[in-house]
């Protein structure tokens, strides 16, 4: 009896939440460590015998042409990420903090941009800025009478532009979520001391969003390195290689999976380096924006700067969305897109066929959205747990660092290589998932876990722990604190995180192509087939439908969640 | 839509055995036997890189119509992805494919060496075009079931037919400077074989000269279709089938059968030893060498591998075209070599 009550006493005092944290760590091991570990093994094995060897690393890095590709990828990553910040941060500020008009239009355009599969966007840009026949070049030739147009999309700057166009929404959503939380009082303090609006923005508002911007920068950098579609279209004709185009060649017959794995491994070192940098920059500064002590948010009046700001936003959206969309529409509605735009070339047959007659598209659409939805929920739940553990120091700082690194690691491994890891991890007992929908869902969840984590991390950092301490002082458990205080505060950031995981998951190709089976076909694979078949009319139709459905789903989703589509709170 | 409904009704009727009965009566004994065995297996899956998705789907439904009660599934993808997936299935001991149809002959040489292919010489081999039969495996582990051509393609709104290149060296003419489009041998088996052929016919010098014309290098051979349609390039070393399919829609494209020979691409199919439905696979292999399949294929501008099938309008039948093809040995050994040389010459 005595022991039992003592046990009961201990049970009562034990922080039950620790089980959840333990579980989160186990799931992380299962999702991330297992595939990465298998990948490491593959990179150190001889293909036939499985014996230990460093030969794969020698093959991957023993030739200058392979190393050059890595250099090009780094240039691409840094330039694209910088351009994304230049695109995304001002727009996020304008939509979050100012009274700029037409915010709804800009937001929908950004959403649309994000949904367009980068491959399709890249083809759109070839038609716009191809050196010989690009519409923009022909326009310039027409107007100025020059010999040839000035733009060449088949170049490093061209590739950087296209990659940035389809990645800047990450920076936008991250920054906007952070800025949405900054209260006007902090800005008022600066204003009272005589600072101008501009100065307040640069010395108060934006620095508070710095962790979010840095997180997004890293994310975009890693995404630019891991992309395959756009580099394959633009870099090869531009006569240079990047990591992913080089990787693809290791899969040509005879496939050298071990060499591919070895070639991708140093990318993990780059990720570690980036984390270290991020920590150095944001070290020991406070970024708590949500204190629970009031916090009114008033838009900054832009005055006559309203219009230039709107013009900038529209300019970016024109580059990323409107112009490529015109090209996609033209192709989707054309009998033969090579004939250009004319009335007798218009047809709705491509769209009709895609929506109503092609059974494959129908089931693939359903699968795509189900898997992406399930993957987003898993990724966000796990990311939140890890972000909470790390930020509230429920584990030691070292373990915290390892956890954050693990959560971010999957992003940098190009999907085509990661698929090998998944395949190896989930075809061996105890987990036989190969051929099922789960392998796709888990692969998507793992691949985009970093996005969810970067987002959750920034969100949790911005919440003052005092809010939870108040609950605990009043006798509430950690769970009560999380349920009643943290979760409601996070809702808005989570909506952003959901978009950022859901959309990339609907277009994930490189892992899906190796893991899907007859009954688990997804749209991205169909899109890839159409591009492989040179069928641009159908490719554009499927792309257009993907854009329409996804944007509609998100808008309706937010309505249902009780927020308007600007992610503002509808009720205080 | 209506046609589909009728099609479904027909399929239903067929499934009920109404249509099947007379067909069954005409079948030779070996076919009846295979069909009965296949019906017990119920369904099978083919991994194929031979056709586009629509054509693969059409072939499957034509098969199901001819042989009711046997379900045909397909995974259509690129040759290298198909091969990688086949290897994965093998390692996972979860065989999916009962028929493996790659466009890369090297895959079969490799699989055969590892003893992973079943021996089966189709009865319908006799129906094949004579010139194609030599590409079947003499040991019967794989059989050619698809053929296609790589030739000269051009945009007809930019280049009049009389000015179009007539043979492969014509692409080296300085008048095409900045106007030629090609694929990359490291990304496309078609282009790899083409580069081997050009080297065999004209020496590596051909590519040194081609580089002076600043060709645009895409990834797959089908990228040339996109480049011609976009008017970014005027002439190309491209695929016959995809180009003609795009032209059928009204795109301004044309093909030239080079006087020094179109490159013949042959794509075999083989039955893996671990095939979950070997009899259905055999039946499908026979089907691919028969009239119904050939008629479905020529509609998509694939070449018929059997004799006596009329090609779709605008294309020529295999018997009428001068074709060239390096030997299997030259291809398997040559592709890795030319990938390296290609990179030396073009820097990519």
Contact between B85 and A254 using a beta-carbon 8 Å cutoff: no
Which of A518-532, B86-100, B121-135 is the most confident on average? B121-135
Model pLDDT, residue B267: 93
Across the interface, which of A132, A237, A338 has its CB nearest the CB of B251? A338
Nearest CA in chain A to B52: A533
Residue A133 lies in a domain: yes
Predicted confidence (pLDDT) at residue B2 exceeds the cutoff of 70: no
Model pLDDT, residue A5: 63
Predicted confidence (pLDDT) at residue B10 exceeds the cutoff of 60: no
A548-559 residue pLDDT tens: 888 888 888 777
Q: Collect all residues of chain B within an 8 Å Cβ-Cβ radius of residue A336.
A: 246, 249-252
* Averaged pLDDT for residues B184-194: 89
B87: contact with A, CB 8 A cutoff: yes
Give me the residues paired with residue B43 across strands.
Answer: B71
Q: How confident is the model at residue A362 (pLDDT cuts 50, 70, 90)?
A: confident
A158-182 residue pLDDT tens: 999 999 998 999 999 889 888 887 7
A199-242 residue pLDDT tens: 777 777 788 888 889 888 988 998 898 888 888 889 989 999 99
Three-state DSSP class for A300? Answer: strand
Q: Collect all residues of chain B within an 8 Å Cβ-Cβ radius of residue A47.
A: none
CA-wise closest residue to A219 among A517, A432, A530, A504: A504
Window from A157-161, B23-27, B82-86, B116-120 with minimum mean pLDDT: B23-27
Contact between B85 and A514 using a beta-carbon 8 Å cutoff: yes
* Averaged pLDDT for residues B174-201: 93
- Could you give the percent of chain A with pLDDT greater than 70? 91
Contact between A536 and B229 using a beta-carbon 8 Å cutoff: yes
If you search the block for the tokens 């998951």, which residue do you land on? A505
Chosen from A231, A338, A418, A542 to mutate, greatest number of chain B CBs within 10 A? A338
Contact between B343 and A423 using a beta-carbon 8 Å cutoff: no
Across the interface, which of A232, A253, A514 has its CB nearest the CB of B106? A253
Predicted confidence (pLDDT) at residue B308 exceeds the cutoff of 70: yes
Cis peptide bond N-terminal to A224, omega within 30: no
* Averaged pLDDT for residues A345-366: 83
Across the interface, which of B57, B77, B184 has its CB nearest the CB of A236? B184
Chosen from B11, B229, B328, B339 to mutate, greatest number of chain A CBs within 10 A? B229
- pLDDT: which is higher, B8 or A377: A377
Here the CATH number for the domain that contains residue A280 is: 1.10.3720.10
Chosen from B7, B236, B249, B342 to mutate, greatest number of chain A CBs within 10 A? B249
Q: Of chain B residues 153-182, which have a CB less than 8 A from chain A?
A: 155, 157, 178-179
A454-474 residue pLDDT tens: 888 877 877 777 877 888 888
Calculated CA dihedral for residues A433, A37, A118, A129, nearest 10 degrees? -150
Min Cα separation A243/chain B (Å): 13
- Which residue segment(s) compose the domain that A354 sits in? 18-43+56-291+319-560
B56-95 residue pLDDT tens: 989 999 999 999 999 999 988 888 888 888 988 887 788 8
Q: Where are the beta strands (DSSP E) in A80-213?
A: none
Predicted confidence (pLDDT) at residue A1 exceeds the cutoff of 60: no
Residue A8 lies in a domain: no
Window from A14-28, A393-407, A437-451, B203-217 with minimum mean pLDDT: A14-28
Min Cα separation A542/chain B (Å): 14
Contact between A360 and B81 using a beta-carbon 8 Å cutoff: no
* Averaged pLDDT for residues B298-319: 86
Nearest CA in chain A to B226: A534
Cα angle B326-B329-B330, degrees, rounded to a multiple of 5: 45
Model pLDDT, residue A456: 85
* Averaged pLDDT for residues B15-42: 76
Predicted confidence (pLDDT) at residue A257 exceeds the cutoff of 70: yes
Nearest CA in chain A to B46: A518
Q: Where are the domains of chain B?
A: 25-142+270-316, 149-264+321-346
Domains B25-142+270-316 and B149-264+321-346 in one fold:
yes
Nearest CA in chain B to A248: B187
Contact between B1 and A357 using a beta-carbon 8 Å cutoff: yes
Chosen from B64, B84, B337, B340 to mutate, greatest number of chain A CBs within 10 A? B84
Q: Collect all residues of chain B within an 8 Å Cβ-Cβ radius of residue A240.
A: 348
Predicted confidence (pLDDT) at residue A280 exceeds the cutoff of 90: no
Predicted confidence (pLDDT) at residue A330 exceeds the cutoff of 80: yes
Instruction: Give me the CATH code for the B25-142+270-316 domain, please.
Output: 3.40.190.10
Task: Kindly report the pTM of this predicted structure.
Answer: 0.84
Chosen from B230, B243, B301 to mutate, greatest number of chain A CBs within 10 A? B230
* Averaged pLDDT for residues B323-339: 91
Number of domains in chain A: 1
Across the interface, which of A240, A252, A339 has its CB nearest the CB of B252? A339
* Averaged pLDDT for residues A147-165: 92
Contact between A338 and B83 using a beta-carbon 8 Å cutoff: no
Model pLDDT, residue A110: 92
Q: Collect all residues of chain B within an 8 Å Cβ-Cβ radius of residue A517.
A: 75, 96
- pLDDT: which is higher, A484 or B286: B286
A366-382 residue pLDDT tens: 999 999 999 999 999 99
Min Cα separation A120/chain B (Å): 12
Q: Where are the beta strands (DSSP E) in A382-531?
A: none
Predicted confidence (pLDDT) at residue A568 exceeds the cutoff of 50: no
Nearest CA in chain B to A350: B249
Residue-by-residue DSSP string for A263-295: HHTHHHHHHHHHHHHHHHHHTT-----B-SS--
Q: Collect all residues of chain A within an 8 Å Cβ-Cβ radius of residue B179.
A: 132
Residue A222 lies in a domain: yes
Q: Any idea how long chain B is? A: 348
- pLDDT: which is higher, B63 or B53: B63
Average pLDDT, chain A: 83
Q: Collect all residues of chain B within an 8 Å Cβ-Cβ radius of residue A154.
A: 216
Residue A25 lies in a domain: yes
Tokens of B3: 């046609």
Q: Collect all residues of chain A within an 8 Å Cβ-Cβ radius of residue B340.
A: none
Tokens of A269: 């070192």
Residue A123 lies in a domain: yes
Nearest CA in chain A to B87: A255
Q: Collect all residues of chain A within an 8 Å Cβ-Cβ radius of residue B3.
A: none
Tokens of A419: 């698929």
Q: Where are the beta strands (DSSP E) in A387-477?
A: none
A181-193 residue pLDDT tens: 777 777 777 777 7
Q: How confident is the model at residue B18 (pLDDT cuts 50, 70, 90)?
A: very low
Three-state DSSP class for B260? Answer: coil
Cα–Cα distance between A551 and A503 in angstroms, integer?
10
Min Cα separation A536/chain B (Å): 7
- Could you give the percent of chain A with pLDDT greater than 90? 20
Q: Of chain B residues 50-69, which have a CB less than 8 A from chain A?
A: 52-53, 57
Q: Collect all residues of chain A within an 8 Å Cβ-Cβ radius of residue B184.
A: 236
Q: How confident is the model at residue B214 (pLDDT cuts 50, 70, 90)?
A: very high
Tell me if A413 sits within 8 A of A39, measured CB to CB: yes
Model pLDDT, residue A572: 30
CA atoms within 13 A on the CB side of A458: 34
Give me the residues paired with residue B317 across strands.
Answer: none
A265 Cβ contact list (under 8 Å, min separation 6): A39, A40, A43, A57
Across the interface, which of A252, A526, A535 has its CB nearest the CB of B80? A252
If you search the block for the tokens 């990519």, which residue do you land on? B348
Cα–Cα distance between A375 and A520 in angstroms, integer?
14
Model pLDDT, residue A15: 61
B233: contact with A, CB 8 A cutoff: yes
B149-264+321-346 placed in CATH 3.90.1150.10: no
Average pLDDT, chain B: 89
Q: Any idea how long chain A is? A: 572
Q: Collect all residues of chain A within an 8 Å Cβ-Cβ radius of residue B253.
A: 338
A37-67 residue pLDDT tens: 888 888 898 877 778 888 889 888 888 888 8
Cα–Cα distance between A75 and B16 in angstroms, integer?
64
Nearest CA in chain B to A152: B232
CA A304, distance to chain mean position in Å, is 34
Model pLDDT, residue B1: 42
Contact between A236 and B53 using a beta-carbon 8 Å cutoff: no
């Amino acid at each position: 009896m005595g022991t039992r009550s003592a046990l009961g006493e201990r049970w009562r005092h034990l922080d039950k939440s620790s089980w959840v944290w333990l579980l989160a760590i186990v799931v992380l091991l299962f999702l991330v460590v297992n595939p990465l570990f298998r990948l490491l093994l593959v990179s150190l094995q001889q293909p036939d015998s499985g014996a230990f060897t460093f030969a794969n690393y020698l093959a991957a890095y023993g030739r200058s042409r392979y190393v050059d590709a890595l250099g090009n990828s780094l240039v691409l990553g840094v330039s694209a990420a910088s351009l994304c910040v230049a695109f995304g941060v001002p727009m996020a500020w304008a939509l979050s903090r100012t009274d700029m008009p037409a915010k709804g239009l800009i937001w929908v355009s950004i959403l649309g941009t994000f949904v367009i599969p980068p491959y399709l966007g890249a083809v759109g840009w070839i038609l716009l800025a191809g050196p010989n026949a690009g519409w923009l070049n022909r326009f310039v030739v027409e107007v100025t009478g020059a010999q040839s147009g000035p733009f060449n999309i088949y170049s490093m700057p061209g590739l950087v532009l296209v990659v940035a166009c389809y990645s800047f929404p990450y920076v936008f959503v991250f920054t906007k979520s952070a800025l949405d939380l900054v209260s006007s009082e902090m800005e008022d303090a600066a204003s009272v001391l005589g600072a101008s609006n501009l100065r307040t923005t640069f010395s108060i508002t934006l620095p508070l969003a710095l962790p979010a911007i840095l997180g997004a920068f890293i994310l975009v950098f890693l995404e630019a390195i891991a992309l395959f579609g756009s580099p394959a279209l633009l870099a090869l004709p531009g006569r240079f290689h990047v990591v992913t185009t080089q990787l693809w060649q290791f899969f040509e017959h005879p496939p050298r999976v071990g060499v591919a794995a070895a070639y991708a491994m140093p990318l993990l070192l780059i990720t570690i380096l980036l984390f270290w940098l991020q920590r150095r920059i944001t070290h020991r500064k406070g970024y708590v924006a949500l204190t629970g002590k009031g916090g009114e948010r008033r838009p900054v009046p832009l005055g006559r700067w309203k219009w230039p700001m709107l013009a900038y936003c529209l300019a970016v959206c024109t580059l990323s969305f409107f112009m490529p969309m015109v090209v996609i529409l033209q192709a989707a509605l054309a009998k033969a897109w090579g004939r250009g735009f004319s009335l007798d070339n218009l047809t709705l047959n491509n769209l009709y066929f895609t929506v109503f007659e092609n059974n494959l598209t129908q089931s693939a659409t359903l699968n795509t959205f189900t898997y992406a939805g399930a993957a987003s929920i898993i990724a966000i739940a796990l990311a939140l747990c890890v972000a909470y553990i790390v930020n509230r120091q429920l584990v030691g700082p070292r373990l915290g660092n390892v956890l954050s690194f693990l959560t971010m690691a999957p992003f940098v491994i190009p999907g085509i290589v990661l698929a090998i890891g998944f395949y190896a991890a989930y075809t061996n007992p105890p987990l036989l998932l190969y051929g099922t929908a789960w392998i796709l869902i888990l692969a998507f969840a793992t691949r985009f876990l970093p996005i969810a984590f970067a987002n959750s991390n920034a969100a949790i950092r911005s919440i003052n722990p005092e809010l939870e301490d108040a609950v605990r002082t009043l006798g509430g458990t950690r769970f009560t604190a999380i349920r009643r205080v943290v979760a409601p505060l996070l809702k808005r950031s989570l909506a952003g995180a959901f978009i950022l995981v859901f959309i990339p998951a609907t277009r994930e190709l490189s892992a899906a192509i190796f893991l899907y089976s007859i009954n688990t076909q997804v749209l991205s694979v169909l899109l890839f087939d159409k591009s492989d078949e040179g069928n641009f009319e159908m490719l554009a139709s499927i792309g257009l439908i993907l854009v329409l459905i996804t944007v509609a789903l998100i808008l309706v989703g937010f309505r249902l969640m009780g927020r308007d589509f600007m992610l503002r709170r509808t009720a205080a | 839509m209506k046609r589909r409904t009728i099609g479904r009704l027909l399929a239903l009727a067929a499934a009920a055995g109404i249509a099947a009965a007379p067909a069954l009566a005409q079948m030779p004994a070996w076919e009846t036997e295979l069909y009965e065995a296949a019906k017990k297996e119920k369904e099978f899956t083919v991994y194929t890189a031979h056709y586009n998705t629509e054509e693969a789907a059409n072939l499957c439904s034509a098969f199901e119509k001819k042989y009711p009660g046997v379900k045909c599934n397909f995974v259509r993808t690129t040759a290298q992805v198909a091969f990688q997936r086949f290897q994965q299935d093998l390692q996972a001991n979860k065989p999916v494919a009962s028929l493996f149809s790659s466009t890369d002959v090297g895959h079969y040489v490799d699989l055969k060496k590892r003893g992973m292919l079943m021996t089966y010489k189709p009865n319908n081999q006799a129906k094949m075009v004579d010139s194609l039969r030599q590409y079947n495996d003499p040991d019967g582990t794989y059989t050619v079931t698809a053929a296609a051509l790589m030739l000269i393609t051009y945009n007809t709104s930019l280049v009049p037919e009389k000015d179009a290149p007539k043979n492969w060296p014509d692409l080296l003419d300085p008048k095409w400077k900045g106007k030629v489009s090609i694929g990359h041998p490291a990304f496309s088996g078609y282009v790899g074989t083409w580069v081997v052929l050009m080297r065999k016919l004209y020496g590596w010098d051909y590519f040194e000269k081609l580089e002076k014309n600043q060709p645009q290098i895409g990834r797959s051979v089908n990228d040339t279709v996109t480049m011609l349609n976009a008017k970014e390039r005027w002439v190309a070393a491209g695929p016959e089938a995809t180009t003609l399919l795009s032209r059928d829609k009204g795109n301004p494209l044309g093909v030239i059968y080079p006087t020094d020979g179109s490159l013949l691409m042959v794509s075999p199919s083989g039955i893996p030893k671990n095939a979950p439905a070997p009899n259905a696979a055999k039946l499908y292999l026979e089907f691919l060498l028969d009239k119904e399949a050939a008629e479905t294929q020529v509609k998509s501008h694939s070449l018929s591998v059997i004799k006596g099938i009329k090609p779709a309008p605008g294309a020529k039948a295999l018997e009428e075209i001068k074709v060239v093809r390096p030997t299997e040995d030259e291809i398997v050994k040559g592709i890795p070599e030319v990938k390296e040389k290609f990179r030396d010459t073009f820097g990519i």
